[in-house]
Amino acid sequence: MKTNYIEFWRQSMVDHNGKVPNRLKDDAAEEAFWSSMVERKKQHKADPYTKQVHQELLPLLNREDHVLEIGPGWGNYTFDIAKEVRKLTCIDSSKSIISFLASQAYEKGTENMDLIHDKWESETKRDKYDVVFGFNCYYRMIDIGHTLLKMNESATRLVIVGMTTGPEKPHYMELEKRGYTINLRKRDYIHILNVLYQLGILADCKIVKLKSKKIYSTYEEMIRDNTTKILDEQFSYDEVKTILNKYVVEKEGVFEYEYPFHAALMYWNPKEL
């Protein structure tokens, strides 16, 4: 049976109540989110897991490349890419993000960056870049087919699509097996691979094994943070605590929850379609 993966992506944007979350449809809500994140960030510091992704990403780039980065966020990859290439252009829909990256580029003495405040999916210029790259920037892009085709058309050498992926925290998976209703993610890297296949693009895919460690100052804080995806109005806290205790370790007065996840790097040489 033929599946329309582009339509599947669109339908999967709704939450468990059948509604599109506000941040996904309201530009002002999205800007408010990033403004608050930048306020807390203060200074650029990449998330710890990105070091392992860099080891797979940076060898794909050439010294003479002009790279376009879509939706850089606070720059998990931005400044390391800028060090490795001739020029880096970043485009982001958040004015707060653009201002933050500009200030950090100034502080770091990074002079080969251009910053564009615009939405990639609605930006109308048709500039060409050696490499077009985006990581975890697709969550608001309703027409994922258009997004990927535009990336393909804008690159002359390589397109790289990156995304963090599962598994979900293991206690949630165990709770689901026991009959709990869990708000699991609906869209994943495999859906982008399927969309690319539907578009006639056969992409290579590299999976990078990662680990995340969450540290909580109190047991109560750990419980609150790890029950947010349970959708059942009534559930047994004792049962949830019993399952969580399998994965959480107390060390020196704090509680650590370490679990595996992955990053997917999908890449291809641009082609005429």
- What is the structure's pLDDT at 45? 81
Pairing mode, strands 204-216 and 248-251:
unpaired
Domains of the chain: 5-167+183-210+261-268 (3.40.50.150)
- What is the structure's pLDDT at 41? 79
- Cα gap 67→70, rounded to integer Å: 10
Q: pTM of the predicted model, to two decimals? A: 0.93
- Tens digit of pLDDT at every position of the chain (273 positions): 478 999 999 999 998 888 998 999 999 999 999 999 888 877 778 888 899 999 999 999 999 999 999 999 989 999 999 999 999 999 999 999 999 999 999 999 999 999 999 999 887 777 899 999 999 999 999 999 999 999 999 999 999 999 999 889 999 999 999 999 999 989 999 999 999 999 999 999 999 999 999 999 999 999 999 999 999 989 999 999 999 999 999 999 999 999 999 999 999 999 988
- What is the structure's pLDDT at 124? 75
Tokens read off for 33: 């989110």
